[in-house]
Structure 1
């Protein structure tokens, strides 16, 4: 039976339209491939959870389309976070650092620090900044050897956030195994009164938290109290309440010994003095934990803050600075985080010589 001409034309038009949508919409999504993997690690004072088996660091590798880049960013989350900080399960097209980097041609590996996420959860007492740094050093070896996704990366830039930045500074300053360092959500003079008040009112043992009590953690693993993250990690006016809710839903724990040794060896001493490669330091203008009068840190401009931070680096000429306007502590999860990611890509290109691969602009 032959269809009427008008109906045939209409069906043909719909088919063309659906075909064009199918070709356009999934193209970028299909270009980004992300896969989870577990990597074996051994650290000081970290006995295996299973006799004869090493501990593990869980991570997610995200790659762009086309040729796999020869460089990778190793992403290290902050305290009471896990790797979801870099790939938040809410509007990923706007807030996922990993997927945005992949869509622009850059590879990333977001690791769960020991004690958090899908990584091994040893007793908290030996989980110091040195133990975490040694585990990351082993992860870097795995990235070189192609044990994450089968790709042997020749260049690694290690990226930290908050407590993770302290761990990153110790790792890079101790092992000298990375090509560049990015430190976010940290300065060398934190607002101690704010940190003290935040710890007293905003933290509690993870075993007493209804969301994390199933982990069965020992008493020296802590997390944020319900509702505390908004005031500690975000700046009003630059944060989506739905993002804060997603942050709350994916929160994790941090070891008190880890936080303490990060404060001592990662910030106070400081570990950054041992870093010999280029550093990109990023903070939010309104980070109440590391900026302002109580921190003796003026975060109103990159130039002003750089002058205050430069003495903590052996070679200040290798330090670049970026301040995200209006943002609080968790810079990757604020509404204007795209500016921070763009600035990071510019630094990777201009200072590190790392160019995008497998990326084609749309439109």
Structure 2
């Protein structure tokens, strides 16, 4: 996650952007994907909505659906990157294995409502997600009443998942990625200071009209912030920059991390929890957390979860922060399915 000069990577990204348009797409897509916009309830007296993509398998649909929450400066495309979907799309890979997923843009991001940045909080995001959980169970998404809902979060999305699960106790499992309860503060501060800027200054996103309280990544910085140099495909990084890059409310990020990660709220989770980190995620591993071994990470994180969470951990060797887009991401998806089968039932 640390920003560092990688001239070779930068050159590869430039070439990758040129090649991306010519990259072949899968000829036989095993997923049936459709988009929905849902009205959501929050603590604000504003009409807000969340937009998402439901992906179903080609055959019979499992009664379990995974509700996917992206990280800061991402949108829902983190879960369905339009480059080599067999390697990098969590949604299409799960569909190929018979599992349903619903990936949403969080409030303030993508095609969901984008209110003033200052009004967004962690509690507000959790309340919106709670509404979507109810919609999934009621059959309001795709006409399927799912009997089990599992929250799957990445980074800030993991913190929102923690707040939601600990507050509402309405999900059957919680899969957290790209987080620990003791991040490496100097690295995170460096990444924020050097890697983020107001969306109003960004050549890619400024035209959407967001206020200066929304931040996004400086052009070309995602490869060094979110990936490990030895475990990336430059074309995947280029696709990330093109399709998955989005904004985050600066004030909400402080609140989400403060409540979701720095407070003891995760002790209130009563559903099984899987925690996944890349061994080279320098923002959340290293100084205060040892992500080299799953057992060590589990011992360090166990005090933040109660017995009902049945905490399980998995580390993706060589990966950086964005584990779903690592070159070896298929290993983490396999581990996720094994956990779902054992602890949730699919």
TM-score between both structures, scaled by the size of structure 2: 0.90
- CA displacement at 1:70 relative to structure 2: 1.1
Which of 300, 310, 315 does residue 302 from structure 2 map onto?
A: 310
Larger RCO: Structure 1 or Structure 2 (Cα < 8 Å, ≥ 6 residues apart)? Answer: 2
- Select 1:176's aligned residue among 153, 169, 172: 169
The one of 266, 285, 297 aligned to 2:289: 297
- Contact map agreement 1:232 1:288 (CA 8 A) in 2: no
Note if contact 2:273-2:309 (Cα within 8 Å) is conserved in structure 1: no
What is the root-mean-square deviation of aligned Cα atoms in Å? 1.2
Alpha-carbon separation, structure 1, partners of 2:257 and 2:72: 12
CA distance in 2, matches of 1:80, 1:271: 24
The residue aligned with 2:7 is none
Deviations 1:138-167 (A, max 9, x none): 001111111111111110000000000000
Contact 1:206 1:213 in 2 (8 A): yes
Q: Does residue 43 of structure 1 match 2:35?
A: no
2:271 is aligned, of 272, 277, 291, to: 277
Instruction: Give the structure 2 partner of residue 341 of structure 1.
Output: 333
Aligned partner of residue 268 in structure 1, secondary structure: coil
Which runs of 5 or more residues in structure 1 are unaligned?
A: 1-24, 48-53, 355-363
Please tell me whether residue 255 in structure 1 is matched to residue 249 in structure 2.
yes
Q: Of the candidates 294, 317, 324, which is equivalent to residue 325 of structure 1?
A: 317
Q: Tell me if the contact between 1:44 and 1:126 (Cα under 8 Å) persists in the aligned partners.
A: no
1:130 paired residue number: 123
Give distance in 1, aligned partners of 2:257 and 2:146. 31
Q: Is the 8 A contact 1:142 1:148 kept in 2?
A: yes
Contiguous gaps of at least 5 residues in structure 2: 1-25
Tell me the TM-score normalized by structure 1: 0.86
Distance 2:201 2:45 in 1: 24
Is the aligned partner of 1:56 residue 2:56?
no
For the pair 1:142 / 2:135, whether they are aligned, the reply is yes
- State how many pairs are aligned: 320
Say if 2:148 is the partner of 1:155. yes
Partner of 1:78: 71
Q: Would you say 1:32 and 2:31 are equivalent positions? A: yes
Equivalent residues of 2:270, 2:309 under 8 A apart: no
Matched-pair contact (CA < 8 Å) for 1:46–1:122? no
1:316 & 1:340 partners in 2: Cα distance?
23
Residue 17 of structure 2 corresponds to none
CA contact (8 A) 1:46 1:127 kept: no
